[in-house]
Amino acid sequence: QVQLVESGGGLVQAGGSLRLSCAASGRTVSMLTMAWFRQPPGKEREFAAASSWSKGSTDYADSVKGRFTISRDSAKNTVYLQMISLKPEDTAVYYCAARSGAVTQTSTSRYDYWGQGTQVTVSS
């Protein structure tokens, strides 16, 4: 079993930055494909970013490309999502997810483990 705990959410003005953290336990993140999803108010959960443990490849949704960066610290067993140039439309609950497969996936159904989520609110 893998347990994931997100932190770092909060209220920020448009144009600001936040860094989300996802602390994993139960397995090392160096052997997991990790992802961040988000769920805006009244909408379905959507893919934001993913990082494969194999070859270190990353994948981003078009809406966040160039503004969000996913990274991992194996020593801390933690994955991060650095977010810059935030927009009001980035407001959502952000979820960390993990899967054992080596390929990044953009569908929620392909991930086996989920955190409880952290709220990010971007004011205009």
Write out pLDDT tens, residues 51-87. Answer: 998 877 999 999 999 999 999 999 999 999 999 999 9
Q: Indicate whether 124 pLDDT > 90.
A: yes
| Mean per-residue pLDDT of the chain | 95
In terms of Cα–Cα distance, which of 17, 34, 36, 38 is closest to 119?
38
Written as one string, the DSSP assignment of 65-115 is TTTEEEEEETTTTEEEEEE-S--GGG-EEEEEEEESSSS---SGGG--EE-
pLDDT of the residue at 53: 86
Q: Indicate whether 11 pLDDT > 80.
A: yes
The average pLDDT across 25-37 equals: 92
pLDDT band of residue 34 (cuts 50, 70, 90) is very high
pLDDT of the residue at 114: 98
Share of the chain above pLDDT 70, in %: 100
Q: Indicate whether 8 pLDDT > 90.
A: yes
The average pLDDT across 30-56 equals: 94
